[in-house]
A = this chain, B = another copy of it.
Amino acid sequence: MACFCNNYLYLFRQIHHSIPTFIASPSRAFPSCLTTTFRVCNAQSWSTKPNPRSMSESVSASATSTGTFTWDDVVWSSDPETISDDPSDLNGYFEKIKICNRGADMRFEFIPFVIEDQIVGFIHKGFAEHLRKFQYVFEFLPDNGSRGARVTLNSSLKTPEDRTRALGEVVKSLGEQLIPGIRNELYPVTSSFGARAFFSLERAAAPYFGIKAYGVHMNGYVEKGGQKYLWIGKRSRAKATYPGMLDHLVAGGLPHGIACGENMVKECEEEAGIPRSISSSAIPVGAVSYMDIDGYRYKRDVLFCYDLKLPESFIPKNEDGEVESFKLIPVTHVANVIRRTYLFKPNCCLVIIDFLFRHGYILPECFGYLDLLQSLRSGDCSQVHP
């Protein structure tokens, strides 16, 4: 058994070393450079010990790279007994936070996007070149000695409606090649959360303009026999981003004009079939944040975290086709999946690590406790300054 464990851990290392490739391409769940295989077990439930994996039972990297790993693989990788690693070693968590916070040293490649003297985003100098042709929309202010170069909107665009329309046309004109995955979903552009919106922008374009984006993520859990379990979703393989990967029970972006709590209730209904009578008990418990630079994209995301304690009898049911299936997994096992694998959509890891902290699954005695806690809010949470 030991050699299987080592082989499996080796796989995780392999995946780890290839992360930038893996994450940079959201359509792939695993890096294409991954040529090793990983073993599948036939364990059917959390109460039984997973069977040892044989060399013949394997899934090719190409299968895993499209997110077609199975719940059995998740079960196997989560079990405390399959791999003899140290749960108090926080390195596996740090790695996941790192994935969401890449490219800090590339910040100098971006210039501030300013509206009414407030910085609302950051635009890559290369991407800015594509915007120069839209002279009726953008103004490029040169470095004047006291202030560096900036991009702003043409002064003729005064109202939020005018700006929203003009930017909408720009995004459409730039096309799918430059800004892939258009969703026709508008995000408010503000200097800080809760401030008035200067205009609204297509969700897929937000990182190209370095706009702060907000989301709501919910840990749905069940308590039975003194143990806590998390409901985990597996994303539909048809999804444009992170197909087939593990996800929260409920999560979604925060569009323009809807409050966090109301959005959470709406997403609960759509994503997991949770009626308002139950979802209204969801508790806001804080937020995590990250800053990720990848090519032209500068993600500055804040995720509002919610906990919802569900009745034992509740079975989630996806209503919008975005989730393939759900599984109830002991929290200690979920922690192992986070630490050991890259099966979760990356930003979910932050919200689950936050849950692990708040529910006492990570101890102050573990080396790195304070650093890990602090790193959950590596992004800009400021509401007053941009």
Contacts and interface: CB of A to CB of B under 8 A. Distances in A.
B261 A193 contact: no
Contact of A284 (B364, B368, B382): B364
Nearest to A304: B364
Interface of A: 193-194, 259-261, 283-287, 302, 304, 307, 357-360, 362-365, 367-371, 373-374, 377, 381-384
B383 A285 contact: no
Contact of A286 (B261, B302, B358, B365): B358
Contacts of A373: 286-287, 377, 381
Contacts of A286: 357-358, 373
Contacts of A193: 369-370
A364 B307 CA distance: 13
Main SS class of interface, A: mixed
Contact of A368 (B302, B307, B362, B383): B383
A263 to B, nearest CB: 10
A381 B370 contact: yes
B287 A363 contact: no
Contact of A374 (B304, B359, B364, B377): B377
Contacts of A381: 370-371, 373-374
A281 to B, nearest CB: 9
A148 to B, nearest CB: 25
Given A260-B364, A358-B358, A287 B370 contact: yes
A194 to B, nearest CB: 5
A285 to B, nearest CB: 5
Contacts of A383: 367-371
Contacts of A360: 283-285, 307
A35 B261 CA distance: 44
A60 B193 CA distance: 43
Which are the 3 A-B pairs with shortest beta-carbon distances? A283-B360, A260-B364, A370-B381
A353 to B, nearest CB: 11
A24 to B, nearest CB: 27
Given A287-B370, A367-B383, A369-B383, 8 more contacts: A194-B368, A284-B363, A302-B370, A307-B360, A368-B383, A370-B381, A370-B383, A371-B383
Contacts of A261: 363-365
A365 B367 CA distance: 35
A368 B382 CA distance: 9
A228 B66 CA distance: 46
Contact of A259 (B287, B362, B365): B365
15 contacts: A193-B369, A193-B370, A194-B367, A194-B369, A259-B364, A261-B363, A261-B365, A283-B360, A287-B370, A304-B364, A370-B382, A371-B381, A373-B381, A374-B377, A374-B381
Contacts of A284: 360, 362-364
A222 to B, nearest CB: 18
A370 B373 CA distance: 16
Contacts of A368: 194, 383
Contacts of A285: 357-360
B377 A382 contact: no
A63 to B, nearest CB: 39
A365 B368 CA distance: 32
Nearest to A307: B360
A213 to B, nearest CB: 13
A212 to B, nearest CB: 10
Contacts of A359: 283, 285
Contacts of A194: 367-369
